[in-house]
Structure 1
Amino acid sequence: MADHFARGRSAEVFRIDDGRVMKLFFEDYPREYAEKEFRNTKIASELGCTPMKVYEMVEKEGRSGFVMDFINGVSQNDMPSKNPLYLLKGGKDLARCHVKVQARRSHELEDIRTMCADLLSDETMSFLSAEERQRAEKYLLSLPEDDTVLHLDFHTGNVLVDPDGNCTVIDWMTAARGNRAVEEAMMEFLFSEAELFPEAGKLQKAFFAAVRGYIGKQFFKEYQKLTPLSAEEIDRYRLPALIIRRSWNIDFEKPYLTKTIRELIRKYGIS
């Protein structure tokens, strides 16, 4: 096995030769998801959303993965420990990177509307009644078509900063195409309700929550300055964002997502 480099929620990354790394997913991770991330990353790279290229799918010791470029950078999560002053600009950098990705268009990525409509039949959505699923599906499919590139997991752990300050977006498994308001609804969730480092203690979580809130304020202020979007428009697209997130089945997030998804179906669902 090559040199171990990093570990995430679903995979490990190993350094290999020629300036490349191998991302190997854990044994219980479905191969189809690994293939989807490989395909989405390839599309994102070709569009100029990320400089990171992918090369081939691999199988190692019963684990699926793929080979991709090594990016010489540190995640935005880790930047403050190396340069505390980065906290003063991290949210702005994230917003600028965000806008750059959303400037790209794709017909190859999956349509967020049909993706979410299909997820309504998933086990993670079993809390919905048949009527709720029907009303939600009609609403989702009534939304206008859009080919804006969406990442849908655009948090500070998925943005690497190189020594020159350039940002690279990684982890494209959840990428889709759709209205950019879906992404902003997801960003509001990530900066307020998403699970924070489950292994951390109470004091650590309180600190991380404060930092997250500060970066979030920077992000939304800069984003609205660059590409304004009304609160009403974001709310109209909150349902698909939260359906995507609920499909991840994160225990900590289930109560909020279950409650809010039902409220949004009551508000926007079509009979």
Structure 2
Amino acid sequence: MKLEEKDLIVARPYKKVYLSGDSVVKVFEESHPKKYVFNEALNQAIVEETGLNTAKVQEVSQIDGKWALVLERKRGKTMEEVMDEDPANLEKYMDQFVSLQLEMHSKQAPMLNKLKDKLNRQISSLTAISATTRYELHTRLDSMPKHVKVCHGDFIPSNVIVGEDGSLTVIDWAHATQGNASADAAMTYLLFALKDQKKADMYLRLFCEKSDTALQYVQRWLPIVAAAQLTKHNDLEQDFLMRWIDVVEYE
């Protein structure tokens, strides 16, 4: 498969994403562990079986010695682009976004990794916080109800494709797990808040209204998912995330 720079649509430190005909090709840097590439492909294949509208896996291969994931191309704009282009209708789009997330949470996929296990591993790996804080986070996580709902783990508007016919496709399932929907919502809230607090607040209000979930319950997950996000070692996010993690200490 020949890829050209003109077809590059996304560049991250660990991957580049290209358009290639009716496919999207993710090419991962050599430093990105092979197990993560295959896990993302497996997650994608598992989610396909739930009936959710997503981009199907076509191939896992190597390109110039680097692992690559080839996916079905879904044409359209991201919901982030749609929101930015029509800010007057932001609430309408946010309502659609939340409804799509609730549809996802209505599904089950027993082969996905368990969210609680993943969060426990992430908390244990953190060296930027004290042992006391890690203990408090583990204790809180252990006290939260166990669910088996499909959770995306990175559910943001840039991971939703809006087709010309209005169809909505959820992409990028690298962080998918089965677990508690409110934990997934807490992560979405944090990811919004890192960029735009107004959108974050609108999102959380609509999620709680449409799912009949207490705001306080979602908020109890915030220190836990902030710790998980901290493991990505993004220096620009660290101060913001540490403020949420510190909530555990004074509650």
Shorter-chain TM-score above 0.5 = yes
User: Secondary structure, in 3 states, of the residue corresponding to 1:165?
Assistant: coil
User: Secondary structure, in 3 states, of the residue corresponding to 1:104?
Assistant: coil
1:112 corresponding residue in structure 2: 115
Identical counterparts, % of pairs:
23
What are the equivalent positions in structure 2 for 1:31-110 lying under 5 Å apart?
31-80=34-83, 87=90, 89-110=92-113
Q: Does 1:129 align with 2:130?
A: yes
1:164 corresponding residue in structure 2: 165
Deviation per residue, 1:213-262 (Å, 9 max, x gap): 2x445534443332121022112222331122111111111112223213
TM-score, with length taken from structure 2? 0.87
Letter in structure 2 aligned against 1:167: L
Deviation per residue, 1:7-61 (Å, 9 max, x gap): 14342223335x2232212333222222221111111111123331113211112
Structure 2 CA distance for aligned equivalents of residues 171 and 233 of structure 1: 27
- CA displacement at 1:84 relative to structure 2: 6.1
Structure 1 CA distance for aligned equivalents of residues 221 and 161 of structure 2: 28
Letter in structure 2 aligned against 1:161: V
- CA displacement at 1:91 relative to structure 2: 1.1
Q: Does 1:258 align with 2:215?
A: no
Kindly indicate whether the alpha-carbon contact (under 8 Å) linking 1:102 and 1:148 is maintained by their aligned counterparts in 2.
yes
Residues 139 and 24 of structure 1: CA distance in aligned 2, closer, same or farther (over 3 Å): same
Aligned positions, number: 247
TM-score, with length taken from structure 1? 0.81
Residues 63 and 111 of structure 1: CA distance in aligned 2, closer, same or farther (over 3 Å): same
User: Secondary structure, in 3 states, of the residue corresponding to 1:78?
Assistant: helix
Kindly indicate whether the alpha-carbon contact (under 8 Å) linking 2:110 and 2:148 is maintained by their aligned counterparts in 1.
yes
Kindly indicate whether the alpha-carbon contact (under 8 Å) linking 1:239 and 1:265 is maintained by their aligned counterparts in 2.
no
- CA displacement at 1:72 relative to structure 2: 0.9
Residues 55 and 184 of structure 1: CA distance in aligned 2, closer, same or farther (over 3 Å): same
What are the equivalent positions in structure 2 for 1:142-181 lying under 5 Å apart?
142-181=143-182
User: Secondary structure, in 3 states, of the residue corresponding to 1:168?
Assistant: strand
Unaligned stretches of 5+ residues in structure 2: none
User: Secondary structure, in 3 states, of the residue corresponding to 2:124?
Assistant: coil
User: Secondary structure, in 3 states, of the residue corresponding to 1:13?
Assistant: strand
Structure 2 CA distance for aligned equivalents of residues 164 and 29 of structure 1: 36
2:227 corresponding residue in structure 1: 243
Structure 1 CA distance for aligned equivalents of residues 176 and 27 of structure 2: 19
1:11 corresponding residue in structure 2: 15
Residues 88 and 227 of structure 1: CA distance in aligned 2, closer, same or farther (over 3 Å): closer
Kindly indicate whether the alpha-carbon contact (under 8 Å) linking 1:79 and 1:86 is maintained by their aligned counterparts in 2.
no
Deviating 4+ runs (over 3 angstroms): 80-88, 215-222
